[in-house]
Amino acid sequence: MSNQSVIIYNAMIAGFLQGKTTNDEYANEAFNLFSKMQKNGIKPSKFTFSSMLKVCNAVEAFDYGKQIHAQICKRDLQSDEFIGSALIDLYFLSISVEDGVKCFALTSKLDIVSWTSIISGYVQNGHFGRALALFYELLSFGRKPDEFIISSMLGACSNLASPRSGQQIQGYAIKIGIGKFTMIQNSQICMYAKSGDIDSAHLTFEEMDNPDVVSWSMMISSNAQHGCARKALRLFELMMDYGIAPNHIMFLGVLTACSHGGLVKEELRYFESMKKDYCMTVNVRHCAYIVDLLGCARKLVDAENFILNSGFKEDPVMWRALLSACRVYKDTVTGKHVAERVIELEPQGSASYVLLYNIYNDAGINLPATKIRELMND
């Protein structure tokens, strides 16, 4: 195009933000366009800066985002609500909480997107009490929260182990007509499960009109974590009957259920099905559950052979799972061998030293236990 205006550049940059994911290649194209337009003497607009910050957030290019923030300050645009929301996201994603709060305070027109950004940012960074306080402040201004804020607040309540507050927020969501949104109901399931109320989690799930893959995954994982292994597996099979394809996280829930229920044959069958039937690449967490199950079944030799053939033999997580089983069954010989391997892979990790110390201590072998404490101090 012969006449390349700021509108054309904005359209191109926004184009690289479209789709399900913004990868590094698309981000680099956007960064190059942003640089080129300025070299050609075209001044970026508010829309340009907002889009560029979203690109930075999508690929976690936080240093680049801070450079763009400097340009925004030079042009005195930081009070714009769209730029403000993107800046809040930038700093909360980079765990610079107080900088995110400053950006929120500098935004002159606080729309619901700005409130969503800071409340979800607080929740993601573990400031659950501050998120709750800000939510009540939003209500005091007579503003109506959207489903994203309600979902974040239910997440905050679940992490605060405060089901009573969560129930009040759930009631408020129903009152304003968004209580049946799938996102909110998924957050309710998580809140009740984390609070230990698996029955209420089940009730929420049963009341859902259109449970998605996240809903099924959370129910399977929640039942697994509460020791309801058979119920978790029944849910998985029911989901398959409905034609919903499982994902990596769902299989983690299934493997957790088998591990907690001591279902060795079932876990190995699901593990093989994951690879063969669904062509999924297993990760270290999937394999660690197999090691944990074999260890709980006292098949320590099989567990070690599995680690050696898993492709993750250099990962301390695998060996630590086996070391835990050695402690349970007071196998000091295997425990010493496995602990040496973990300490070699992760010399600064305290967990392996503590586990080996406990193995010796439980077996009444005092001298090696004392030496482990000395080694840990060193």
Domain annotation covers residue 200:
no
Q: Are 76 and 40 in contact (CB under 8 A)?
A: no
Residue 19 has pLDDT above 60, yes or no: no
Q: Which is it for the CA torsion 158, 160, 163, 168, positive or negative?
A: negative
Domain annotation covers residue 291:
yes
Q: Are 165 and 157 in contact (CB under 8 A)?
A: yes
Domain annotation covers residue 368:
yes
Residue 359 has pLDDT above 80, yes or no: no
| Cα–chain center distance at 378 | 35
Identify the domain boundary among 55, 75, 100. Answer: 100
Q: Tens digit of pLDDT for each residue in 113-169? A: 999 999 999 999 999 999 999 999 999 999 899 999 999 999 999 888 888 899 999
Question: What are the E-state strand segments in 199-289?
Answer: none
Tell me what pLDDT residue 280 has: 87
CA distances from 168 to 50, 56, 136, 165, 306 (A): 35, 36, 12, 5, 48
Q: Tens digit of pLDDT for each residue in 325-335? A: 887 887 878 88
Domain annotation covers residue 119:
no
Domain annotation covers residue 41:
yes
HSE value, Cβ hemisphere, 13 Å, CA-based, for 79: 4
Q: Are 195 and 156 in contact (CB under 8 A)?
A: no
Q: Per the structure, how many domains does the chain have?
A: 2
Identify the domain boundary among 56, 74, 100. Answer: 100
Q: Are 181 and 147 in contact (CB under 8 A)?
A: yes
Helix (H) or strand (E) run with residue 318 in it: helix 316-328
Pairwise CA distance, residues 168 & 162, whole Å: 10
Q: Tens digit of pLDDT for each residue in 226-284? A: 989 999 999 999 998 988 888 888 898 898 888 888 888 888 899 998 888 888 888 99
Selected residue with higher pLDDT from 293 and 362: 293
Please report, for the domain that includes residue 293, its CATH number.
1.25.40
Question: What are the E-state strand segments in the chain?
Answer: none
Domain annotation covers residue 308:
yes
Q: What is the mean pLDDT of residues 191-220?
A: 92
Tell me what pLDDT residue 133 has: 94
Residue 21 has pLDDT above 90, yes or no: no
Domain limits at 369? 283-378
Instruction: Give the predicted TM-score (pTM) of the model.
Output: 0.78
Domain annotation covers residue 173:
no
Identify the domain boundary among 41, 67, 100. Answer: 100
Domain annotation covers residue 265:
no
